[in-house]
Amino acid sequence: MRNENLIRKSKFHYKWKSYLQTILSYTFLILLSSFIIIPFYVIFITSVKSRADSLSIPFTWLPSQGWHFDGYFSVLFSDLSGGGDGTSTIIRGFMNTLIVVIPSTLIGLLTSALSAYAFAKLKFKGKKIGFGVLLVTMMIPGVIMLVPSYMVYDALGLVDSFFPLMVPGMFGAAAAVFFLRQFFQGIPDELLEAATIDGMGELGIFFKIMLPLSKPALIAQGILGFIAGYNDYFGPLIYLHDPKKYTLQIALSYFEGTYVNDWPTVMAGAVITLVPTIVIFLIAQKYFVQGITMTGFK
C-alpha cells in the first residue's frame, strides 16, 4: 500500500513537473516571438494611419482616425527617380532586384552544390586543405575586399551596371558549400557506388541522384541566398549610380528622404518590401525547416 502511494505521488510530481516545463517553455517562446511580431505590427498599423494619426503621442495600437491607404498608393504609383516611363520607383526597384538576385542565386546555388559534392563524395589530393581554406574565407569580412573589387570593376568599365552585384554570387558562397557538404555526407555512399556500377558518371550521379535527394537543403540555401541578395543595400549603393538601375532597398530609401515625417508612406514601402520574402518563406517553409534540421545528420 505504501509503495502504491509513493508510485502515485511520484507520478503526480512528474506530471506537474512536465506541465510546469511546458508552461515555462511556451511562456518563453511567446515572449521571444513578441519581440519579433510587435515591430511588424507597428510597421503595418502605422502604414494604414493618417499622417496626423501617425505623429500623435502616445502611440495608438489601432488607427484612431480610420484606415487610410494613401501611403500604399504613393509607394505604388510615385516615380521619384525620374524614369519617365510611368513605372513607380518601388516597382522598378523590385524588377531590378529580381534581375540581380535570381540569376545570381540560381547559378550560385549550382556552383555551391558542385563544390559541396566534390568535398563530400570525391577523393582528390588537397581535399582537406582546400576545404580548410574555404572555411577560412568565411571568417574574412566582405568589407575588406570592397576597395579592390571596386577598382577591378571600375577598370573593366562595369561600375553602374548589375554585373558587380551578380558575378560574385554566381561563384557560390562558402557558407552554402559548407552546409550542403554536411547534407551530402548524409547520403549513403552505397547508393553512389551502385550508380557507378550501372555506368553513371559523376555528373549523372550529381544531377540525377544527389540533387533530387537534396531538395530540402537546396531550397533552404536558395532562400537564404535570395534573401541576402534581396536585402543587400551596401552593394547597390556603391556600384549603382543611375536612379533607373536602383534596386528595391535603394528605392525604398528614396521614400525615407522624400516623404520626411510622412510615416504612413515610409511604412507602406517597408510593408510592400517585406511581402515577397514572407510569401516565399511561407510557401517553402516545409523544405526550409527540413533543410536546416537535416543538415549534419548522417
Q: Residue 106's domain is classified under what CATH number?
A: 1.10.3720.10
Does some domain include residue 55?
Answer: no
Tell me, yes or no, whether 43 and 149 share the same domain.
no
Does some domain include residue 142?
Answer: yes
Tell me, yes or no, whether 36 and 96 share the same domain.
no
The type of residue at 137 is T
Residue with cell 510615385: 78
Tell me, yes or no, whether 171 and 215 share the same domain.
yes
Tell me, yes or no, whether 23 and 95 share the same domain.
no
The pLDDT of residue 108: 92
The pLDDT of residue 99: 92
Question: What is the pTM (predicted TM-score) of this model?
Answer: 0.80
Does some domain include residue 98?
Answer: yes
Residue with cell 502611440: 59
Tell me, yes or no, whether 110 and 152 share the same domain.
yes
Half-sphere exposure of 149 (CA within 13 A, CB side): 14
Which domain covers residue 13, as residue numbers? Answer: 2-47
In sequence order, which residues have a C-beta less than 8 Å from that of residue 68 and are 6 or more positions away? 48, 49, 50, 53, 264
Does some domain include residue 16?
Answer: yes
The pLDDT of residue 83: 56
Tell me, yes or no, whether 102 and 36 share the same domain.
no
Tell me, yes or no, whether 207 and 249 share the same domain.
yes
The pLDDT of residue 134: 85
Tell me, yes or no, whether 36 and 112 share the same domain.
no
Does some domain include residue 65?
Answer: no
Tell me, yes or no, whether 23 and 149 share the same domain.
no
In sequence order, which residues have a C-beta less than 8 Å from that of residue 130 and are 6 or more positions away? 119
> By the 8 A CB rule, do 149 and 224 touch?
no
Number of domains in the chain: 2
Does some domain include residue 32?
Answer: yes
Does some domain include residue 73?
Answer: no
Tell me, yes or no, whether 126 and 212 share the same domain.
yes
Tell me, yes or no, whether 118 and 26 share the same domain.
no
Tell me, yes or no, whether 42 and 88 share the same domain.
no
Intervals of the chain under pLDDT 70: 1-17, 79-87, 257-260, 288-298
Does some domain include residue 168?
Answer: yes
